[in-house]
Chains A and B, each alone.
Chain A
Amino acid sequence: MIFGIPIQAFAGQLLVGLINGSFYAMLSLGLAIIFGLLRVINFAHGAQYMLGAFIGYLVLAKLGIGYWPALILVPVIVGLFGIVVERLALSRLYEVDPLYGLLFTFGLALVLEGVFRYVYGVSGNPYPVPPALAGGVNLGFMFLPIYRGWIVVASLIVCLGAWLLVEKTKFGSYLRAATENPKLVQAFGVNVPVLLTLTYGLGAGLAGLAGIMAAPVYQVSPLMGSNMIIVVFAVVVVGGMGSILGAILTGYMLGLAEGLTKVFYPEASSIVIFVIMAIVLLIRPAGLFGKDA
């Protein structure tokens, strides 16, 4: 018993919090990467996450392509979709107020959500847990479904990989340099427009990857993205978008905070992240890891 709550329930909710936190981390990471370079808040991030889950669901149902190949295939498709969007539309909006990027991607999110609602309805579709990760283990104090454990591990790997890509590779150093001063980087012979396109594709691909990973945990539904994106926005406000590591950490922390609230005061669990956001705004308006005021 912890504070009068059975330890199984406590650990179970913490695990749920950690799972949610994994998705918050992956999604806010993508948002931060895109925002860092493109100065665009990608409202379609939730829709691209939904798209990832749906493509995974569809290739399984129609083509019999299972979870493991989908883990590669889905991010590539969603990433390519992002590249097309960036080339056709977003690249025309860099010169105007960044708010237009937000509005455009908002429209895109509405269209994507609308199309899937129209074709598949609002009810959720189940996606089976891959056989290799089915079942669970008894940890003594709680029962851990293996797939959930996998999500936590995989999301940590993805976040770490993205962080290494940005901080330790040549591509990453171009990306960081272009974030600081795009004109100068262009003058050094780096093709900045291509870099922008690739970055948006990368961010969208990450959202797609989060989507296919989420498919066996949550129901695959057209509404799964819009429910997620607003919370992720709050996460991004709390973390500040200046640092990639900050976005990742904040994601996990707020997921855990949400899980804890479910244990002690379930009524507030849907709003606790917003409350934390408000408190952070009072104390540190720039966000926990933010440099820009």
Chain B
Amino acid sequence: MKEMMTILLSAILVDNFVFSKFMGICPFLGVSKKLDSAVGMSVAVTFVMVMATAVTYPIYTYLLVPFNLEYLKIVIFILVIALFVQFVEILLRRFLPSLYHSLGIYLPLITTNCAVLGVTMLNVDNGYTFLPSLVNALGAGLGFMLALVLFSGIRQKMESCDVPAFFQGMPITLMAAAIVSVAFAGFSGVVEGIFQ
């Protein structure tokens, strides 16, 4: 239990995919303008991360490793991720059409979101077993959500600020992202400290 909590919390705070691994920056900058689409996007990403891990882990362990086919993992993981992204797209289109329209192009782009591929690859590379892999994927998804939700708040505040013309739009957004990621560096060592 203690191990699971350590994995979960360090995936959310210390090894946050957006702020310390710099993965998934495209949806992070693209969808963090509004709170509700940020939450919708991160729920979709979390779902894809957990489901993709649940499928890629058995494929890797029971199909690729026994036959020494580890080199196939990137292409097969991408195939599985693409499957789940398409699946999420069909689900959203049917049940949440408004969210489907507000996410727009960023929804199919989860396929090429390196955070999703990153989490499945890191699980395998770190030698996690099945349950820790799932927990790590969940933590990565929640960390992505935390990043998007925090940053959408910052961006909404920035809308009402008097920003100099040459900083308006992307420049000030990138600078704010850099400052938030520096703040996240302060979490290093915290999780180990909690469980000592």
Q: Are A and B a genuine interacting pair, yes or no?
A: no
B binding-site residues for A, Cβ under 8 Å? none
